[in-house]
Amino acid sequence: MPLKQYEIATIDGDGIGPEVCQATVAVLREACGADLLNFSHHDGGADHYARTGHVLPPDTFAACKTAHAILHGAAGMPGITYADGTEVGNDLHLQLRFKLDLYANVRPVRLWKGVRSPLRDWQAGQIDYVIVRENTEGLYASRGGGINLRGEVCTDTLVVTRKGVERVARFSFELSRKRQGAPRDGKRRMTVCDKANILRSYAFFRAVCDEVAQEYGDVEIDYAYVDAMTVHLVKRPDYYDVIVAENMFGDIISDLGAATIGGMGLSPSAELGDHHGLFQGAHGSAPDIAGQDLASPLATILSGALMLRWLGDRHDDTRLVSAADRVEQAVEQVLAEGDAVPRDLGGQAGCRAMTAAVIRRLATERQDTGIAETAT
Protein backbone atom coordinates (compact mmCIF):
# COMPACT_ATOMS: atom_id res chain seq x y z
CA MET A 1 0.00 0.00 0.00
CA PRO A 2 1.45 3.41 -0.93
CA LEU A 3 2.11 5.63 2.08
CA LYS A 4 1.56 9.36 2.35
CA GLN A 5 5.18 9.87 3.34
CA TYR A 6 8.32 7.72 3.70
CA GLU A 7 10.81 8.17 6.54
CA ILE A 8 14.43 8.09 5.37
CA ALA A 9 17.17 7.97 8.00
CA THR A 10 20.39 9.49 6.66
CA ILE A 11 23.90 9.08 8.08
CA ASP A 12 26.45 11.38 6.42
CA GLY A 13 29.49 9.61 7.93
CA ASP A 14 33.12 10.60 7.26
CA GLY A 15 35.31 12.05 4.52
CA ILE A 16 33.26 12.73 1.39
CA GLY A 17 30.24 11.08 3.06
CA PRO A 18 28.51 14.34 4.05
CA GLU A 19 28.85 15.99 0.62
CA VAL A 20 27.65 13.00 -1.42
CA CYS A 21 24.84 12.19 1.00
CA GLN A 22 23.52 15.75 1.10
CA ALA A 23 23.82 15.97 -2.70
CA THR A 24 21.63 12.88 -2.96
CA VAL A 25 19.03 14.25 -0.57
CA ALA A 26 18.78 17.37 -2.77
CA VAL A 27 18.37 15.26 -5.93
CA LEU A 28 15.75 12.97 -4.35
CA ARG A 29 13.76 15.98 -3.13
CA GLU A 30 13.77 17.38 -6.66
CA ALA A 31 12.69 14.02 -8.08
CA CYS A 32 9.95 13.31 -5.53
CA GLY A 33 8.74 16.75 -4.53
CA ALA A 34 9.03 18.23 -1.05
CA ASP A 35 6.67 15.97 0.90
CA LEU A 36 6.92 12.36 -0.27
CA LEU A 37 10.18 11.67 1.57
CA ASN A 38 10.98 12.88 5.07
CA PHE A 39 14.72 12.85 5.77
CA SER A 40 16.09 12.72 9.31
CA HIS A 41 19.84 13.13 9.88
CA HIS A 42 21.82 10.99 12.33
CA ASP A 43 25.35 10.74 13.71
CA GLY A 44 27.73 7.88 13.10
CA GLY A 45 31.10 6.91 11.67
CA ALA A 46 34.79 6.96 12.60
CA ASP A 47 35.00 10.64 13.56
CA HIS A 48 31.96 10.24 15.75
CA TYR A 49 33.61 7.20 17.37
CA ALA A 50 36.77 9.24 18.06
CA ARG A 51 34.66 11.85 19.86
CA THR A 52 32.15 9.63 21.67
CA GLY A 53 33.22 5.96 21.56
CA HIS A 54 30.20 5.05 19.38
CA VAL A 55 30.51 4.29 15.67
CA LEU A 56 26.77 3.57 15.49
CA PRO A 57 25.14 5.41 18.41
CA PRO A 58 22.04 3.73 19.91
CA ASP A 59 19.70 6.55 18.84
CA THR A 60 21.00 6.32 15.26
CA PHE A 61 20.40 2.58 15.24
CA ALA A 62 16.90 3.06 16.65
CA ALA A 63 16.13 5.60 13.90
CA CYS A 64 17.48 3.26 11.21
CA LYS A 65 15.38 0.41 12.53
CA THR A 66 12.14 2.34 12.38
CA ALA A 67 12.80 4.23 9.12
CA HIS A 68 11.45 2.95 5.81
CA ALA A 69 14.97 3.10 4.35
CA ILE A 70 18.49 4.22 5.25
CA LEU A 71 20.70 6.44 3.09
CA HIS A 72 24.38 6.63 3.95
CA GLY A 73 27.32 8.64 2.59
CA ALA A 74 30.43 6.69 3.57
CA ALA A 75 32.31 5.92 6.80
CA GLY A 76 35.92 5.36 7.76
CA MET A 77 39.11 7.29 8.52
CA PRO A 78 42.47 5.56 8.01
CA GLY A 79 43.94 6.53 11.40
CA ILE A 80 40.91 5.57 13.47
CA THR A 81 41.35 1.87 14.24
CA TYR A 82 40.64 -0.68 16.96
CA ALA A 83 43.47 -2.23 18.98
CA ASP A 84 43.63 -5.19 16.55
CA GLY A 85 44.41 -2.82 13.66
CA THR A 86 41.04 -3.10 11.86
CA GLU A 87 39.26 0.11 10.82
CA VAL A 88 36.48 1.43 13.02
CA GLY A 89 34.46 3.12 10.25
CA ASN A 90 33.49 -0.12 8.51
CA ASP A 91 31.65 -1.12 11.66
CA LEU A 92 28.92 1.41 10.95
CA HIS A 93 27.52 -0.48 7.98
CA LEU A 94 28.70 -3.89 9.24
CA GLN A 95 26.65 -3.46 12.41
CA LEU A 96 23.66 -2.29 10.40
CA ARG A 97 24.13 -5.23 8.02
CA PHE A 98 24.12 -7.82 10.80
CA LYS A 99 21.62 -6.21 13.17
CA LEU A 100 19.09 -5.52 10.42
CA ASP A 101 19.88 -8.77 8.57
CA LEU A 102 20.66 -7.11 5.23
CA TYR A 103 21.62 -10.32 3.49
CA ALA A 104 21.70 -9.30 -0.17
CA ASN A 105 24.15 -6.64 -1.30
CA VAL A 106 22.96 -5.59 -4.75
CA ARG A 107 25.60 -4.00 -6.95
CA PRO A 108 24.51 -3.07 -10.46
CA VAL A 109 27.28 -2.79 -13.05
CA ARG A 110 26.00 -0.76 -15.99
CA LEU A 111 27.89 1.13 -18.66
CA TRP A 112 26.17 4.49 -19.16
CA LYS A 113 26.00 6.47 -22.40
CA GLY A 114 28.77 9.05 -22.48
CA VAL A 115 31.15 7.04 -20.27
CA ARG A 116 34.19 5.47 -21.93
CA SER A 117 34.89 2.03 -20.57
CA PRO A 118 38.54 1.06 -20.21
CA LEU A 119 37.34 -2.02 -22.12
CA ARG A 120 37.29 0.05 -25.27
CA ASP A 121 35.14 -2.18 -27.45
CA TRP A 122 32.07 -2.08 -25.24
CA GLN A 123 29.22 0.39 -25.63
CA ALA A 124 26.40 1.53 -23.34
CA GLY A 125 23.84 -1.27 -23.07
CA GLN A 126 26.40 -4.05 -23.58
CA ILE A 127 27.50 -4.12 -19.94
CA ASP A 128 24.48 -4.37 -17.69
CA TYR A 129 24.53 -6.97 -14.93
CA VAL A 130 24.01 -7.10 -11.17
CA ILE A 131 26.30 -8.68 -8.63
CA VAL A 132 24.45 -9.98 -5.58
CA ARG A 133 26.95 -10.35 -2.79
CA GLU A 134 25.93 -12.54 0.14
CA ASN A 135 26.26 -9.97 2.90
CA THR A 136 25.90 -11.64 6.28
CA GLU A 137 28.16 -14.72 6.30
CA GLY A 138 31.07 -16.10 4.24
CA LEU A 139 34.58 -15.14 5.29
CA TYR A 140 33.58 -11.74 6.69
CA ALA A 141 31.32 -13.38 9.26
CA SER A 142 34.53 -13.94 11.20
CA ARG A 143 35.28 -10.24 11.61
CA GLY A 144 36.19 -9.71 15.24
CA GLY A 145 35.96 -13.45 15.88
CA GLY A 146 39.16 -14.77 14.32
CA ILE A 147 41.93 -16.14 16.49
CA ASN A 148 45.36 -14.61 16.89
CA LEU A 149 47.37 -17.18 18.83
CA ARG A 150 50.32 -15.61 20.62
CA GLY A 151 51.15 -13.48 17.60
CA GLU A 152 52.20 -16.67 15.77
CA VAL A 153 49.10 -18.13 14.12
CA CYS A 154 45.94 -16.36 12.91
CA THR A 155 42.73 -17.92 11.63
CA ASP A 156 39.43 -16.61 10.28
CA THR A 157 36.69 -19.09 9.44
CA LEU A 158 34.51 -19.05 6.31
CA VAL A 159 30.89 -19.62 7.30
CA VAL A 160 28.24 -20.86 4.83
CA THR A 161 24.77 -21.89 5.98
CA ARG A 162 21.91 -23.48 4.07
CA LYS A 163 19.55 -20.69 5.13
CA GLY A 164 22.05 -17.99 4.09
CA VAL A 165 22.62 -19.45 0.62
CA GLU A 166 18.99 -20.35 -0.02
CA ARG A 167 17.74 -16.85 0.61
CA VAL A 168 20.42 -15.04 -1.39
CA ALA A 169 20.05 -17.53 -4.27
CA ARG A 170 16.28 -17.07 -4.28
CA PHE A 171 16.75 -13.29 -4.17
CA SER A 172 19.08 -13.51 -7.20
CA PHE A 173 16.71 -15.66 -9.25
CA GLU A 174 13.84 -13.30 -8.44
CA LEU A 175 15.99 -10.34 -9.47
CA SER A 176 16.77 -12.00 -12.79
CA ARG A 177 13.04 -12.44 -13.39
CA LYS A 178 12.57 -8.67 -13.08
CA ARG A 179 15.33 -7.91 -15.60
CA GLN A 180 15.59 -8.23 -19.37
CA GLY A 181 18.28 -10.92 -19.46
CA ALA A 182 21.94 -10.67 -20.45
CA PRO A 183 22.79 -8.06 -23.12
CA ARG A 184 24.49 -10.73 -25.29
CA ASP A 185 21.52 -13.02 -25.84
CA GLY A 186 18.61 -11.71 -23.78
CA LYS A 187 18.68 -14.87 -21.63
CA ARG A 188 17.80 -14.68 -17.95
CA ARG A 189 20.91 -16.11 -16.33
CA MET A 190 21.98 -16.56 -12.71
CA THR A 191 25.71 -17.20 -12.44
CA VAL A 192 27.07 -18.74 -9.25
CA CYS A 193 30.57 -17.42 -8.60
CA ASP A 194 32.56 -19.62 -6.20
CA LYS A 195 35.61 -21.80 -5.77
CA ALA A 196 33.72 -25.08 -5.55
CA ASN A 197 36.64 -27.05 -6.97
CA ILE A 198 38.84 -26.25 -3.97
CA LEU A 199 36.81 -25.71 -0.78
CA ARG A 200 33.87 -27.67 0.62
CA SER A 201 32.19 -24.49 1.79
CA TYR A 202 31.99 -23.23 -1.81
CA ALA A 203 30.92 -26.66 -3.13
CA PHE A 204 28.08 -26.47 -0.60
CA PHE A 205 27.26 -22.91 -1.69
CA ARG A 206 26.96 -24.15 -5.28
CA ALA A 207 24.94 -27.24 -4.33
CA VAL A 208 22.37 -25.17 -2.43
CA CYS A 209 22.10 -22.74 -5.38
CA ASP A 210 21.46 -25.77 -7.60
CA GLU A 211 18.64 -26.89 -5.33
CA VAL A 212 17.01 -23.45 -5.42
CA ALA A 213 17.40 -23.40 -9.22
CA GLN A 214 14.80 -26.19 -9.42
CA GLU A 215 12.16 -23.57 -8.54
CA TYR A 216 13.26 -21.28 -11.40
CA GLY A 217 13.09 -23.17 -14.66
CA ASP A 218 12.79 -19.87 -16.58
CA VAL A 219 16.23 -18.65 -15.44
CA GLU A 220 19.37 -20.38 -16.70
CA ILE A 221 21.82 -21.38 -13.98
CA ASP A 222 25.48 -20.89 -14.78
CA TYR A 223 28.73 -21.32 -12.83
CA ALA A 224 32.14 -19.65 -12.74
CA TYR A 225 35.13 -20.04 -10.47
CA VAL A 226 36.08 -16.68 -9.05
CA ASP A 227 39.52 -16.59 -10.65
CA ALA A 228 38.00 -17.29 -14.08
CA MET A 229 35.32 -14.70 -13.30
CA THR A 230 37.91 -11.91 -13.12
CA VAL A 231 38.80 -12.78 -16.72
CA HIS A 232 35.18 -13.17 -17.90
CA LEU A 233 34.12 -9.77 -16.52
CA VAL A 234 36.82 -8.18 -18.68
CA LYS A 235 36.49 -10.37 -21.79
CA ARG A 236 32.75 -11.07 -22.02
CA PRO A 237 30.84 -8.77 -19.64
CA ASP A 238 27.79 -8.87 -21.94
CA TYR A 239 27.24 -12.54 -21.02
CA TYR A 240 26.10 -11.69 -17.48
CA ASP A 241 22.70 -10.89 -16.07
CA VAL A 242 22.81 -11.66 -12.30
CA ILE A 243 25.85 -13.02 -10.47
CA VAL A 244 25.64 -14.35 -6.91
CA ALA A 245 28.76 -14.70 -4.79
CA GLU A 246 29.96 -15.37 -1.26
CA ASN A 247 30.66 -12.21 0.77
CA MET A 248 34.39 -11.71 0.11
CA PHE A 249 34.26 -12.83 -3.52
CA GLY A 250 31.30 -10.50 -4.11
CA ASP A 251 33.26 -7.64 -2.56
CA ILE A 252 36.24 -8.25 -4.84
CA ILE A 253 34.47 -8.85 -8.15
CA SER A 254 32.19 -5.85 -7.66
CA ASP A 255 35.24 -3.55 -7.54
CA LEU A 256 36.42 -5.13 -10.79
CA GLY A 257 32.97 -4.69 -12.34
CA ALA A 258 32.95 -1.05 -11.20
CA ALA A 259 36.30 -0.43 -12.90
CA THR A 260 34.88 -1.64 -16.23
CA ILE A 261 32.09 0.95 -16.27
CA GLY A 262 33.99 4.04 -15.17
CA GLY A 263 34.94 3.41 -11.55
CA MET A 264 33.62 3.38 -8.02
CA GLY A 265 32.29 6.92 -8.40
CA LEU A 266 29.55 5.51 -10.66
CA SER A 267 28.77 2.34 -8.74
CA PRO A 268 25.70 2.21 -6.51
CA SER A 269 24.98 -0.33 -3.81
CA ALA A 270 21.88 -1.52 -1.99
CA GLU A 271 22.01 -3.80 1.06
CA LEU A 272 18.67 -5.48 1.44
CA GLY A 273 16.95 -7.75 3.90
CA ASP A 274 13.34 -8.80 4.19
CA HIS A 275 12.47 -5.74 6.29
CA HIS A 276 15.20 -3.11 5.86
CA GLY A 277 17.32 -1.49 3.15
CA LEU A 278 20.57 0.48 3.38
CA PHE A 279 21.76 2.45 0.38
CA GLN A 280 25.21 3.95 -0.23
CA GLY A 281 27.73 4.34 -3.06
CA ALA A 282 30.15 1.44 -3.44
CA HIS A 283 33.16 3.68 -2.78
CA GLY A 284 34.70 4.51 0.60
CA SER A 285 35.01 7.84 2.39
CA ALA A 286 37.93 9.04 0.19
CA PRO A 287 39.55 11.20 2.89
CA ASP A 288 42.19 12.36 0.38
CA ILE A 289 39.59 14.51 -1.45
CA ALA A 290 37.12 15.23 1.37
CA GLY A 291 35.75 18.72 1.92
CA GLN A 292 37.27 20.14 -1.29
CA ASP A 293 34.27 19.77 -3.59
CA LEU A 294 36.16 17.16 -5.64
CA ALA A 295 34.03 14.04 -5.07
CA SER A 296 31.54 12.67 -7.54
CA PRO A 297 28.09 12.27 -5.96
CA LEU A 298 26.84 10.02 -8.80
CA ALA A 299 27.31 6.66 -7.04
CA THR A 300 25.29 7.90 -4.04
CA ILE A 301 22.67 9.52 -6.28
CA LEU A 302 22.28 6.23 -8.20
CA SER A 303 22.03 4.42 -4.85
CA GLY A 304 19.25 6.87 -4.02
CA ALA A 305 17.50 5.77 -7.23
CA LEU A 306 17.83 2.13 -6.12
CA MET A 307 16.26 3.17 -2.81
CA LEU A 308 13.29 4.80 -4.55
CA ARG A 309 12.71 1.71 -6.70
CA TRP A 310 13.01 -0.68 -3.74
CA LEU A 311 10.59 1.42 -1.68
CA GLY A 312 8.25 1.74 -4.65
CA ASP A 313 8.19 -2.04 -5.19
CA ARG A 314 7.66 -2.77 -1.48
CA HIS A 315 4.84 -0.30 -1.09
CA ASP A 316 3.37 -0.68 -4.54
CA ASP A 317 3.96 3.03 -5.09
CA THR A 318 4.37 3.98 -8.74
CA ARG A 319 5.29 7.56 -7.78
CA LEU A 320 8.55 6.26 -6.31
CA VAL A 321 9.28 3.88 -9.17
CA SER A 322 8.85 6.63 -11.75
CA ALA A 323 10.95 9.02 -9.61
CA ALA A 324 13.71 6.36 -9.66
CA ASP A 325 13.48 6.20 -13.45
CA ARG A 326 13.67 9.98 -13.67
CA VAL A 327 16.79 10.17 -11.47
CA GLU A 328 18.55 7.53 -13.59
CA GLN A 329 17.49 9.24 -16.81
CA ALA A 330 18.75 12.59 -15.48
CA VAL A 331 22.14 11.04 -14.64
CA GLU A 332 22.24 9.39 -18.05
CA GLN A 333 21.48 12.69 -19.81
CA VAL A 334 24.11 14.56 -17.82
CA LEU A 335 26.72 11.96 -18.75
CA ALA A 336 25.62 11.48 -22.36
CA GLU A 337 25.38 15.19 -23.15
CA GLY A 338 28.44 16.09 -21.06
CA ASP A 339 26.50 18.77 -19.08
CA ALA A 340 29.11 18.23 -16.38
CA VAL A 341 31.87 15.63 -16.17
CA PRO A 342 33.14 14.52 -12.75
CA ARG A 343 36.85 14.53 -12.04
CA ASP A 344 37.09 10.75 -11.71
CA LEU A 345 35.84 10.51 -15.32
CA GLY A 346 38.40 13.02 -16.55
CA GLY A 347 36.32 16.19 -16.17
CA GLN A 348 36.45 19.24 -13.93
CA ALA A 349 33.05 19.23 -12.22
CA GLY A 350 33.01 18.92 -8.44
CA CYS A 351 30.31 17.56 -6.18
CA ARG A 352 28.25 20.77 -6.27
CA ALA A 353 28.41 21.17 -10.06
CA MET A 354 27.50 17.52 -10.67
CA THR A 355 24.55 17.75 -8.27
CA ALA A 356 23.34 20.97 -9.88
CA ALA A 357 23.56 19.38 -13.34
CA VAL A 358 21.41 16.40 -12.30
CA ILE A 359 18.88 18.68 -10.59
CA ARG A 360 18.71 20.89 -13.71
CA ARG A 361 17.85 17.88 -15.86
CA LEU A 362 15.18 16.77 -13.40
CA ALA A 363 13.70 20.27 -13.26
CA THR A 364 13.61 20.52 -17.06
CA GLU A 365 11.91 17.15 -17.33
CA ARG A 366 9.39 18.23 -14.67
CA GLN A 367 8.50 21.35 -16.65
CA ASP A 368 8.31 19.41 -19.93
CA THR A 369 5.94 16.76 -18.62
CA GLY A 370 4.13 18.61 -15.85
CA ILE A 371 5.15 15.76 -13.54
CA ALA A 372 5.21 18.05 -10.49
CA GLU A 373 1.51 17.63 -9.80
CA THR A 374 1.62 13.83 -9.78
CA ALA A 375 4.86 13.54 -7.80
CA THR A 376 3.91 15.71 -4.85
Residues at the interface with ligand ATP (CB under 6 A): 16, 20, 76, 264-265, 283-286, 288-289, 295-296, 299, 344
Min CB(75)–ligand ATP separation in Å: 8
Beta carbon of residue 29, minimum distance to ligand ATP (angstroms, whole number): 20
3-state secondary structure of 285: coil
Q: Which is nearer to ligand ATP, 16 or 278 (CB)?
A: 16
User: Quick one: 273 or 297, whose CB is closer to ligand ATP?
Assistant: 297
The residue whose Cβ lies closest to ligand ATP is: 284
Residue 285 beta carbon to ligand ATP: minimum distance, rounded to whole angstroms: 5
CB of 322 to ligand ATP, least distance (A): 26
Nearer to ligand ATP, 106 or 371 (CB): 106
For ligand ATP, the closer CB: 76 or 268: 76
3-class secondary structure, 142? helix
Cα gap 285→140, rounded to integer Å: 20
Cβ 344 to ligand ATP shortest distance, Å: 4
Alpha carbon 300 to chain centroid distance? 9
Nearer to ligand ATP, 201 or 296 (CB): 296
Strand 268-272 to 277-281 pairing: antiparallel
Amino acid 30 reads E
- Type and span of the H or E element at 149: strand 147-149
User: At 122, which amino acid appears?
Assistant: W
CA atoms within 13 A on the CB side of 106: 24
Q: Which is nearer to ligand ATP, 87 or 222 (CB)?
A: 87
Query: CA torsion angle for 3, 317, 26, 94 (degrees, to 10)?
Result: 80
- Nearer Cβ to ligand ATP (283/361): 283
Chain centre distance of CA 243: 14
Residue 109 CB, nearest approach to ligand ATP (Å): 16
Nearest 5 degrees, angle CA 354-CA 357-CA 358? 90
Q: How far, in Å, CA of 371 to CA of 332, rounded?
A: 19
- Closer to ligand ATP by Cβ: residue 109 or 212: 109
Instruction: Of 285, 293, 310, give the one whose Cα is nearest residue 11.
Output: 285
* In the complex, minimum distance from the CB of residue 169 to ligand ATP, in angstroms, rounded to a whole number: 26
Q: Shortest gap between Cβ of 5 and ligand ATP (angstroms)? A: 29
Of 305, 300, 283, nearest to 75 (Cα)? 283
CB 269 within 8 A of CB 72: no
Helix/strand number for the chain, H first, E second: 12, 12
